[in-house]
Chain A
Amino acid sequence: MEQKTKINAEEGKQDLVITREFDLPLELLFKAYTEPELIEQWMGTKVIKLENKTHGCYQFETSHNGQIMFKANGSIHAIELNKKIIRTFEMENMPIGVQLEFLDFEKLTDETSKLSIHIIYKSERHRAEQMKLPFAFGLNMAHDRLQEISKQK
């Protein structure tokens, strides 16, 4: 099966591009990024604040059993309906730092659309930290499982 989501991260650079084609009309794809209730559903995080306007800001927060697990925030530099969002993004308490994101929404057909996210990190090292995250998480999970298994014995 062809991979729908593509990541282009060239070696030695501090940016990367994520592209994905959606089986959704352009308007719906854009809405998924601007309606708080919809963001909450697909991102699985609570939207504390979201101002869809130039120089607006946003805040996301996820808690589990009353404990805050994930906090992110950013400022919206520019927003153009069904076309683009330029914003900053920062995960709090993470060594990744602030990143600049260019989100481009494009119509392919009446029923399909494409999203390109160009992310620029502070340095190559910051980009590596971000990309390592799911990898490290996967390793931790495997490690935890290993410990569980060894405990049972």
Chain B
Amino acid sequence: MNLRRDVFQAIADPTRRAILLLLTSQSMTAGAIAANFDTARPTVSKHLQILTECELIKQEQQGREIYYHFNPNKMKEIADFIEPFRKTWEDKFNKLEAVMKSYSAKK
């Protein structure tokens, strides 16, 4: 996998987000996905390649066709990533509350 790419870059692009949204409801072939966009087929293929490299989607061979699946586990990683940010604020605000409570008690 190309290490310059991470999941956050993958979801930074609106077309890729639209592809992910499409795949949440069903598995689709590259052709069926491309039919939803005005962009050229090779552009869609490139997006699919990036999403696959980032493991946000998975390929599966079914007969002669390759189907793309959404990978919810990888999406969870993105949700988990916001948690440390939220936690630092939570800690800061807990401190604020404690400081102000002792301040008002002293008055």
Residues of A within 8 A of B (CB): 3-7, 9, 11-12, 18, 20, 22-25, 28-29, 31-32, 38, 41-44, 115, 124-125, 128, 130-135, 137-138
Interface residues of B in 67-107 (CB under 8 A from A): 81-82, 84-90, 92-93, 95-101, 103-104
Q: Are B12 and A124 in contact (CB under 8 A)?
A: yes
Q: Out of B11, B92, B93, B96, name the residue touching A11 (CB < 8 Å).
A: B11
Residues of B within 8 A of A115 (CB): 93
Contact between chains at B8 and A128 (CB < 8 Å): yes
Partner of B100, one of A31, A124, A137: A31
Instruction: Check A5/B12 contact, CB under 8 A, given A12-B17, A32-B99, A38-B103.
Output: no
* Cβ–Cβ < 8 Å partners of A138 in chain B: 84
Contacts known (A31-B100, A128-B8); A5 close to B82, Cβ less than 8 A: no
For A29, give the chain B residue with the smallest CB separation: B100
Seen from chain B, the residues whose Cβ lies within 8 Å of a Cβ on chain A are: 8, 11-12, 14, 17, 81-82, 84-90, 92-93, 95-101, 103-104
Residues A7 and B82 in contact, CB atoms below 8 Å apart: yes
Q: Are B82's CB and A9's CB within 8 A?
A: yes
Q: Is the CB of A5 within 8 A of B90?
A: yes
A124 to B85, CA, bound (A): 16
Q: How far is the CB of B61 from chain A (nearest CB, A)?
A: 31
Q: 10 pairs across A/B with beta carbons < 8 Å?
A: A22-B100, A23-B101, A28-B100, A29-B96, A29-B100, A32-B96, A32-B100, A38-B103, A115-B93, A135-B84
A20 touches B99 (CB 8 A): no
Give B69 Cβ to nearest chain A Cβ, in Å.
Answer: 20
List, in ascending order, chain A residues with CB within 8 A of B86's CB: 3, 5-7
Shortest beta-carbon contacts, A-B, top 7: A134-B84, A42-B96, A5-B90, A42-B99, A42-B95, A41-B99, A134-B88
